[in-house]
Amino acid sequence: MVQAAQPDYYKRCSCLVFSATYGKERGTFSSPDYPKSYPRGIDCLLYTFIAGPDEIIELTFTDFDVHKSHMDCMSGDYLKLYPHVERGEVNEYSEGAGALCGGRSDVPPALYSSGRALVLEFHSGQRPPRDNSTGFLGQFRFIDRKLFQTDGQKLAGTMCDHQFVSAENGRPQGRFYSPRYPSSYPKNIRCSYKFRARLKERIRVVFEEVTLQKGDISCLNRADIIKVFDGRNSNTPAITVLCNEGSELEVLSTGSDLFIEFTANSDWPGQGFKASFQFQPLEEASTSEADKNNKLLSSQKTYTVIGPEVSATTSSCDAVFNSDTNKNGTFASPHYPGPYPSRSHCRYDFQGRGKERIQIVFQDFSLYHPTDESTTCESIDALQAYVHIDGRMEKIDSFCASTTPRPIMSNGPRMMLEFRGIYSSRYIRGFKAFYSFTENFGVTDGKQLTEFPCAFVFNSSETRNGTFSSPNYPGSYPRDTECHYFFHGLQKEKVHLHFTYFDIEGVLPCEAMSASDYVEFSNFMARDRKYNRHCGQLKEFHIESDRKFFRVTFRSNDRLDGTGFKANYQFLDEVESYTSKPDTGKSSSIKEMSTIGTLVLCALFSIVAHTLGNNI
């Protein structure tokens, strides 16, 4: 209950206490008069939930309809959250975690306490006369706190640092969580998770759920991020950077050490993350993961680790390619360059490590196809590409007939190709392709930085002009990828970019609401609102910086993909600049007319100045 030591404001609050479910799995709570409209002018009504000593509280709303008069839900009608009050008491110093108002879609699927108590503070104001908001109906239950206990050893003298060391008689796998999970994590924290495997082991981590902030903001500009490094500390190369929200994100170390750093500096923390880890013997990792891939495709086969090319003399055309064995090589359809047998069925599994992505470049492609041009790849001889998305194998493309496919790239350290030669023909050759495990995302220009998974720097002191492109260009860019391009000019220089090709999946305004990928421009490391995001299929256009530094960020989600972009860059002295405004998404013809108009005005001004000079 509310204590006398609390300020006068909270002494006025009415309080409802929920400490038992009376033999049921869940208890219920609701707003006053539910399902009728709740009363106006509720000054303060506290819902206090008290669990057992080793339990936490889970709240779920089955209905939610609270009038929303302000976007931040901190005035009018709202439900304020206090998930971190250990004894069920609130005062002016209690740590809140935001407020709720609006409809069912505005509230999270579940709310959790970090300890044995949780408080909701309900207010209602003088809403419009015809508003009949019904309030809320919810359920609560008590959960064993040990279900969310990190398996590693907490380091003495730290708030949340843990280490995980593989031992001969120890557990080869376990779990770890952000602080307070499944409740929201604290503000202004930095936690590290250090993994140390034995000599012939590698570390596999899967972030099963990541809920930091909603949205699609670049991880470069997020206050709450997870960084994974391929070594003992943050000075080693970055494998990935996670922000916003995601699920089933896999990380594989290249060596026996892995370092994860979680930093939270936002005003409104999210739920955090839950993850699993596994110490994998090298000789078992490749075959076991390949088998998992095929179980996901509802078929089981025996896999054999072979060399860089699939031999027609082997009893099976299934193959696993591991970057620990070969970083690149070739593979082909059975009996290539001769016709493959009818009813051929082959699977090619690729497994990389660290930040490696698998890139496939086709050298020859000739599959049987009927004369009917309307036939799709689904019903004829075809090669299909799959990647891991949300813990499942998802098809990203199908190739058939005799058109050589463009390069393809994985979204992570794994990819699988499945070949089905249903019919065959004596006039076809099958296919042959080159594979490589690459860390540069198929970007060959600029100097790659190690502190980001995909980042490249272009210095005017080294070259004043050149080209750059999206990952895997001219093939489709990979999903779930963020890449940065940093341009550093000399003093009094600007950066001029000319995009000659642009195909980024999405629609204006290129945001999460429309599930759009995007390209972002900025004169700073932070977001620059002077420039709109770019997506869709655009004609060639120009962009120019305001100063010597310029940033281009490409970000793709896990939905669809496009061909990407290609652009020329040039460092110019300020007097050489020939554009004065950033591109706003208008057609290139309008921009060209604007530039011509500027040149004409400059010419007229020159003539007028010359005439005035003669008259003087």
- Above 90 in pLDDT, residue 129? no
Look at residue 484 and give its three-state secondary structure. strand
Q: In the prediction, which pLDDT does 130 show? A: 87
Mean pLDDT of the chain: 87
Specify which residues 153 forms β-bridges with. Answer: 163
Which pLDDT does position 374 carry in this prediction?
66
Q: What is the pLDDT of residue 583?
A: 47
d(CA 262, CA 159): 12
Please check the confidence at residue 466 and state whether its pLDDT lies above 90. yes
Angle, CA 455 vertex, CA 452 and CA 456 arms, to 5°:
140
Which pLDDT value is given to residue 95? 85
Which of 511-520, 561-570, 591-600 has the weakest average pLDDT?
591-600
Six-digit token string for 74: 């901190």
Q: DSSP of 318-338, one letter per residue?
A: -EEEETTT-SEEEEESTTTTS
Q: What is the pLDDT of residue 237?
A: 97
Residues in contact with 10: Cβ distance below 8 Å, sequence separation at least 6, in sequence order? 2, 44, 46, 90, 91
- Region 403-419 average pLDDT: 96
- Percent over 70 (pLDDT), the chain: 86
Residue type, 561: D
**What's residue 284's pLDDT?**
65
Homologous superfamily of domain range 297-438: Spermadhesin, CUB domain (2.60.120.290)
- Assign 429 a pLDDT band (cuts: 50, 70, 90): very high
Instruction: Supply the CATH classification number for the domain 8-146.
Output: 2.60.120.290
Residue 251 contacts residue 261 (beta carbons within 8 Å): no
Long-range contacts of 325-330 (CB under 8 A, 24+ apart): 327/436, 327/437, 328/434, 328/435, 328/436, 328/437, 329/434, 329/435, 330/363, 330/432, 330/433, 330/434, 330/435
- Whether pLDDT at 255 is above 60: yes
Q: Where are the beta strands (DSSP E) in 93-232?
A: 99-100, 111-112, 117-123, 135-144, 153-154, 162-165, 173-177, 189-196, 201-211, 224-229
Per-residue pLDDT band for 598 (boundaries 50, 70, 90) equals very low
Is residue 593 predicted with pLDDT exceeding 70? no
- Is a pLDDT exceeding 60 seen at residue 615? no
Residue 305 has pLDDT above 90, yes or no: no
CA distance 292 to 436: 22
Query: At residue 585, does pLDDT exceed 50?
Result: no
Between CA 40 and CA 131 the distance in angstroms is 10
How high is the pLDDT of residue 281? 93
pLDDT for 579 beyond 60 = no
pLDDT over threshold 50, residue 175: yes
With beta carbons less than 8 A apart as the criterion, state whether 266 and 187 touch.
Answer: yes
471 preceded by a cis bond (ω within 30 of 0):
no
pLDDT at 139: 97
Per DSSP (E only), the strands in 299-429 are 319-322, 328-332, 344-351, 357-366, 382-389, 392-400, 408-409, 414-421
Q: CA-CA distance, 222 to 262, in Å (whole number)?
A: 12
pLDDT of residue 288 exceeding 80, the answer is no
The CA dihedral of 599, 604, 605, 607, to the nearest 10 degrees, is: 130
Instruction: Determine how many CB atoms are found less than 10 A away from the CB of residue 485.
Output: 24
Q: What are phi and psi of 275, to 5 degrees?
A: -145, 160
Name which of 262, 167, 144 is nearest 211 in CA terms: 262
Return the domain boundaries, the chain: 8-146, 149-283, 297-438, 447-585
pLDDT for residue 611 is more than 60? no
pLDDT in tens, 543-576: 999 999 999 999 999 988 899 999 999 999 976 6
Dump strand ranges (E) for 44-107: 45-50, 55-65, 78-82, 99-100
Which position has the higher pLDDT, 422 or 1? 422
The pLDDT confidence band at residue 370, using thresholds 50, 70 and 90, is confident
| CATH superfamily label, 447-585 | Spermadhesin, CUB domain (2.60.120.290)
Amino acid at the residue 203: I
- So what's the pLDDT on residue 333? 96
pLDDT number for residue 11: 66
Which of 2-6, 350-354, 584-588 has the highest mean predicted lDDT (pLDDT)? Answer: 350-354
Distance (Å, whole) CA 191 – CA 226: 10
Q: In this predicted structure, which of 8-12, 86-90, 293-297 has the lowest mean pLDDT? A: 293-297
Name the nearest CA neighbour of 449 among 439, 437, 462.
Answer: 439
Where do the H-state alpha helices sit in 452-580? none
pLDDT value at position 271?
Answer: 95
pLDDT tens-digit map of 484-511: 999 999 999 999 999 999 999 999 999 9
Average pLDDT over residues 435-461: 97
- Mean pLDDT confidence for 180-202: 96
What pLDDT does residue 581 have? 45
Q: Give SS3 for 89.
A: coil
Average pLDDT of the residues in 163-173:
92
Per-residue model confidence as pLDDT tens digits over 67-125: 998 888 988 999 999 999 988 888 888 888 889 999 999 999 999 999 999 999 999 99
CA gap 497, 552 in Å, rounded: 10
Residue, of 612 and 462, whose pLDDT is higher: 462
Return all residues near 425 (Cβ < 8 A) that are at least 6 apart.
Answer: 339, 368
State residue 285's pLDDT score: 60
pLDDT at 48 over 80: yes
- 349 φ/ψ angles, rounded to the nearest 5 degrees: -100, 135
Instruction: Give 384-406 pLDDT, tens digit per residue.
Output: 999 999 888 999 999 999 999 99
**607 backbone dihedrals φ, ψ, rounded to 5°:** -65, -45
Q: How many Å apart are CA 391 and CA 288, to the nearest integer? A: 16
Long-range contacts of 6-13 (CB under 8 A, 24+ apart): 6/89, 6/90, 6/91, 7/91, 7/92, 9/44, 9/92, 10/44, 10/46, 10/90, 10/91, 12/43, 12/44, 13/43, 13/44, 13/45, 13/46, 13/121
CATH topology of domain 149-283: Jelly Rolls (2.60.120)
pLDDT range class, residue 300, cuts 50, 70, 90: very low
Range in 86-100, 246-260, 306-320, 461-475 with the lowest mean pLDDT: 306-320
Asked if the domains 149-283 and 447-585 are classified in one and the same CATH topology, the answer is yes
Its pTM stands at: 0.85
> Is residue 571 a contact partner of residue 489, using CB atoms and an 8 Å limit?
yes
Torsion of CA 321, 324, 330, 331, to 10 degrees: -10
- Name the pairing type of β-strands 201-211 and 245-252: antiparallel
Number of Cβ within a 10 Å radius of residue 242: 22
Is pLDDT of 411 > 90?
yes
- Range of lowest pLDDT (69-78, 173-182, 413-422): 69-78
